[in-house]
Homo-oligomer: A and B are copies of this chain.
Amino acid sequence: MNERELIQRIDAMAGLNIDPALLCGIGDDCAVVRKTDELVLLYTMDTLIESVHFDLRWHPPELLGKKAVSVNVSDIAAMGGNPCYLLFSLGLPPDFDDQWALSLSKGVGRACEQYGCLLIGGDTVSSPAGITLTLTVIGEARAEQVLYRNGAQPGDSIYVSGPLGLAAAGLALCKGKMGREEEFKQLYEAHLDPHARVELGKCLARSGLVNSMMDLSDGLATDLAHICERSGLGARIRCEQLPCDPVLEKAAALLGQDSIDWMIGGGEDYELLFTASTSATERLQEVVANAGHVLYPVGRMVREQGIFLLAEDAGKRTATAIDYRGFDHFS
């Protein structure tokens, strides 16, 4: 059984949604629950496990604390919401280092300030086998503006809000113990200290131009597969449109890796992935630019199932299936 199968089984057990206030349960970036006629509450929960999601050899505790908040807040951003409150559960070995734990907590606190949300509760437990962090972030949004994964339309352009693969390259550099820190600073930062696109998410939600949205946590291929599945559509990605930062190519050359693999399979970029009518491109460009970002079109939603990467190689066109090429948490 892999992660998807287990989630499907758990989802099935969650039973029918008999609660009219529950607008969206399992299956999107957040659960969505009606708060008032106009507002909804957004709920998300993510766990980070030592040696799976972070490595203490290169992750400074303060940045780890910030990252734990950012990856959760990113789910709120992915629905177009505003993060309000945070619950934080910390599992520490009995012999934990005081200074380390305080730096981690400081990072959590700084990220809360940065995103304007308040730490309101949680738990501390002994975790002899390694550090665990679980966070729940509670957000809010206007009911009619929430962006779901299931709204993509055939013909929609597919967009991302920034260059791809940077976090995957940063992780590879950390693992490879590469030097030349300054040159690859952007890549290290993408892995160690990602930022949730809260303001951009809110601008996109307000614009009314976007049909579907999520955040890029598991890599373009895997995440786009969620939008396709929930919207009952397929997608075609154009290889030459993938936003590749020059520094990514440099790191790929240094490590003997393929930058395209990083861009479609690498997780943790925490950029926004969204679809909108092609006719809205110009207005969308303006919205994204006003929020301080660049709009990168990377492909098109289609009626035909499957996600294919379209490329031209020496005048020859190729189409490679890339569904779920990303991260299965149990594999």
Cβ B121 vs Cβ A329 within 8 A: no
Task: Given A22-B85, A125-B49, answer yes or no on A14-B132 (Cβ-Cβ < 8 Å).
Answer: no
A106 to B10, CA, bound (A): 8
Residue of B nearest to A27 (CB): B121
A106: nearest residue on chain B (CB-CB)? B13
Whether, in the assembled complex, A280 has its beta carbon less than 8 Å from a beta carbon of chain B, the answer is no
**Binary interface profile of A, 9-39, with partner B (CB < 8 Å = 1, else 0)?**
1100111010100100110001101011000
Q: What mask results when residues 123 to 136 of chain A are scored 1 for a CB within 8 Å of chain B, else 0? A: 11111111010101
CA distance A105 to B330 in the complex (A): 17
Q: How many copies does the complex hold?
A: 2
Bound complex: CA A87 to CA B105 (Å): 23
Taking a contact as CB atoms under 8 Å apart, the answer to whether A47 and B91 are in contact is: yes
* Best-surrounded residue of A10, A43, A119 (most CB of chain B within 10 A): A10
Q: Does A114 contact B (CB under 8 A)?
A: no
The answer to whether A136 and B22 have CB atoms under 8 Å apart is no
- Taking a contact as CB atoms under 8 Å apart, the answer to whether B46 and A123 are in contact is yes
Since A10-B119, A47-B132, A47-B134 are in contact, a sample of 7 more A-B pairs with Cβ atoms closer than 8 Å, ordered by chain A residue number, is A6-B105, A25-B120, A33-B120, A48-B125, A49-B125, A49-B132, A126-B329
